[in-house]
Structure 1
Amino acid sequence: MDRYDRLYSLYERVDTDSLRSYQEFVDLFPMVDSMVALEYWEEAQEELTERKNSIRSSFVEGDILAEIAAYAKREQAFTALDLYNKYERGVNVLVLDVDETLRSAGETDNEIPRETLHVLTEFHERGVPIIICTGQTLENVKGFMIQGLGNELVHSGDFSIVYEGGTGVFTPGHGADTKQLLYEELDESIRSIFDEVLSRVLPEAPPALRRGCHLQGNEFNVTLKPNYDIGSDPAVEIIDKALVYLLDLLGDAIDCEDGAAWTRAFYADADPEIREVLAARDALPTNDPEQAPAALCDVLERIDVGYYEGDAVEIASRELNKVTGVRAALDVLGLDEPFALVMGDSKSDLRVMEWVRENDCGIAAAPEHASKRVLDHVRRTDDFVFTEGVAGDILWIVHALNRLAETTHNQ
């Protein structure tokens, strides 16, 4: 009997729904000062152990099957088996975006769901490092990860934060390598442009723009965020205006005649979404991007302008992105042969997904509301698309994959 048959038999013969309920209760039962509640928990723990032992004694690879059945639904278990048959290995590092991936403002009150936090601790306890890969500031993401996962896990030495889209990496417990300011490695000509834009972005902004958005407290990137609910009509309006303003400010910071117009033309040609916004705002220049000054193009090709409708607009270095940050984090964590689960929703996450695909070192997953390019990539690979707010579903599949990869026994 091969693994497929054993899994089929497991989910046919065993009440796995009840088993998962017992496991969830034992894992997530809140600590309360009540003898009655404690006795109830102990009874559930005994029943869980008994049911797992029954699986262990009834099946070849019973230990592994008991763990899979306790956490994975039938469809998840078979998906995990398909992944194992395809890659013949488990995931040894998680690379996870936060906003609209681990948490969603629309479904989870912008908090990471408790189940998702729990499965992350399960990975940690089994020695799988976690890399949080985000465009947010270090202090912000570090704060809510400590709140959600605990100070001990975050400072365990197996946890890293790639922040501001790859401008810095924070890996507590690694001495001099704990914090790496990757932006300091850029040459002065690029850093000076960012310094100038940062110094002027709010003081020179039109009054309506100053009232409608704020500057995110980054170490290097220049990011404008709306003072309205993300995705709302006022937020879309103000971020569109901020895009035009930031492009002009960037062009003005570069020593070039008519730099603002050429900069609008350059990024409109490079990004259809930016072009669409500029056209809708009557801000699309007539300049032919093919005729743009070579010196200006040399600079702009090193600077990325990120536009996220109703959410943010920013300038960042093309030389510093999430791939750069993830590679630096992997070096600090000592992972020479990573096989990563990459989860994200935006084009900055797509770069990491493409990198692991090109290097045969990982798999990708995305929420169903991710950008079209991200969804296209994910569906072309392993079709790991999950419902908004339930990233835990994918994580449990990978958890099952790792149990299957613990042994090569396949009779």
Structure 2
Amino acid sequence: MERYDLLYRLYDDFDTATLRDYQEFVDVFPPVDSRVALEHWQNANDELHDRKEEIREAFAAGETFAEIAAHAGRDRAFTALDLHAKHGRSVNVLVLDVDETLRSAGGTDNEIPRDTLHLLTEFHESGVPIVICTGQTLENVKGFMVQGLGSGIVHSGDLSIVYEAGTGVFTPGHGAETKQLLYEDLGCEIVSVFDEIRSRILPEAPEHLRHGCHLQGNEFNVTLKPNSEVGSDRARETIDDGLVYELDLLGEAVAAEVGGSGVDADEAGEWVRAYYAAEDPEIRGVLGQQGAFPDAEADDVPAAVAGVCERIDVAYYEADAAEVGSLELNKVVGVEAAFDVLGIDDPFALVMGDSKSDLRVMEWVAENDAGIAAAPDHASRDTLDHVLSTDELVFDRGKSAEMLRAVYALNRLAALNGDRDR
């Protein structure tokens, strides 16, 4: 019998919705010191076992179908089957953004949901390495990952953290390779530009910016964050102003670096605005709204200035952050370094993310036939366009667990012997 027919039979003949309710209750039941509560958990666990046993007895590959039914709804199970038919292999590494992907300020109170954490634990226990790939600082990420997954998983040797969007990689348990400072390999001229911006950005900021934002505690990138709530109108105003200010500071730093090339420092801000307005439509829009749109065109930018800008990334995250980073250091570079340390020679990754920095990783795995991409429905337009044009793996805000369930089912299906499910 074809697997599609088997899945139809599974979801038509069995009460899989109730089965999943029991599974989720058993998985995420909070630790309590109550005999009555523990008896309730035990009764639920017994009922879960009995319902799974009915499925085990009904299919030749009953264990596989029982676990799929307990973890994934009908739609996600058929998504998994479509993915297996298209790609023919299981996911062997998870590459996961955090903010607005695993957790959402608008959907999960900025906490990683317990069902998501439990599924990550199940992937870890099945031998699938996890790469957390984020723009946040290492200390922030280490803190909430230890709190959410436990120190044992974080320090197992099978979890890696790509932090500050690829400027460093932290993989506990790997000796000299545990922490890699990728920014140390950059040229001295680029490092000088960043040092100049970092030393001036807050001391010389206009008063409303100095009091309205702070500098994220990065090791290398220069990231302005609003003091007000992310996503609020006030945060948007602060970050829009901060973006223009960052571009002008970048222009002055670039002019200082290429000063012998006939570049006037007074014009450098104009050149840099023109360069990045042409590179990024979101930056172009902010400059227009702020009345800071350059008179110059990108083609007019002096070669010496453009040569430095080609190596520097300016990222705008609406009502969240304005960041200067290195194009030579991005999440792709960080993920490749993490894979090397983890010993993943033939990756087929699930990449989950919402932003342009995540899109680069998605495009990289697509170009190398090295994985699949998923994004929340509020992701950036370009990110959503990519996901919809590949495997259409889009999930609701705060529902990252749904995509993990689909991949759980995919891996279960991929592990089946070709004859066992007939």
How far is 1:37 from its partner? 2.2
- Distance, in Å, in 2 between the alignment partners of 1:212 and 1:21 is 45
AA aligned opposite 1:396: R
1:148-159 equivalence runs, <5 A: 148-159=148-159
Match of 2:405 in 1: 396
Counterparts of 1:339 and 1:277 in 2: how far apart (Å)? Answer: 37
- Give the structure 2 partner of residue 214 of structure 1: 214
CA distance in 1, matches of 2:279, 2:327: 13
Per the normalisation by structure 2, the TM-score is 0.96
Alpha-carbon distance in structure 1 between the residues aligned to 2:28 and 2:237: 42
Q: Which residue does the alignment assign to 2:64?
A: 64
Find the aligned partners of 1:235 and 1:386 in 2 and give their Cα distance: 26
Work out whether 1:17 is the aligned partner of 2:26. no
Question: Residue 133 in 1 paired to residue 133 in 2?
Answer: yes
Take 2:37 and 2:288, find their aligned partners in 1: how far apart are those partners?
Answer: 63
What letter is aligned with 2:348?
A: F
CA displacement at 1:227 relative to structure 2: 1.0
Q: CA separation in 1, counterparts of 2:186 and 2:112? A: 34
Q: Please state whether the residue corresponding to 2:156 is helix, strand or coil.
A: coil
| Residue of structure 2 aligned with 1:351, choices 355, 360, 365 | 360
Q: Is 1:360 aligned to residue 343 of structure 2? A: no
Count of residue correspondences = 411
Tell me how large the CA RMSD over aligned residues is: 1.0
Q: 1:378 is matched with which residue?
A: 387
Residue aligning to 2:259: none
How high is the sequence identity, in percent, across the aligned residues?
A: 67
Q: Deviations over 1:295-320 (max 9, x none)?
A: 11110100000011111001000000
Equivalent in the alignment of 2:84: 84
1:3-402 equivalent positions in 2, closer than 5 A: 3-254=3-254, 255=256, 256-257=263-264, 258-402=267-411
SS of aligned partner of 1:224 = strand
CA distance in 1, matches of 2:273, 2:35: 67
Q: Aligned with 2:184: secondary structure?
A: helix
Q: State the Cα distance separating 1:222 from its structure 2 match.
A: 0.2
Q: Deviations over 1:232-269 (max 9, x none)?
A: 11111111111111111011012331211111111111
Higher alpha-carbon deviation: 42-51 or 289-298? 42-51
Unaligned runs of 5+ residues in structure 1 are none
Q: What SS class does the counterpart of residue 265 from structure 1 fall into?
A: helix
Opposite residue 120 of structure 2, the aligned amino acid is L
Deviation at 1:373, TM superposition (A): 0.5
One-letter amino acid of the structure 2 residue matched with residue 355 of structure 1: W
Structure 1 letter corresponding to 2:131:
I
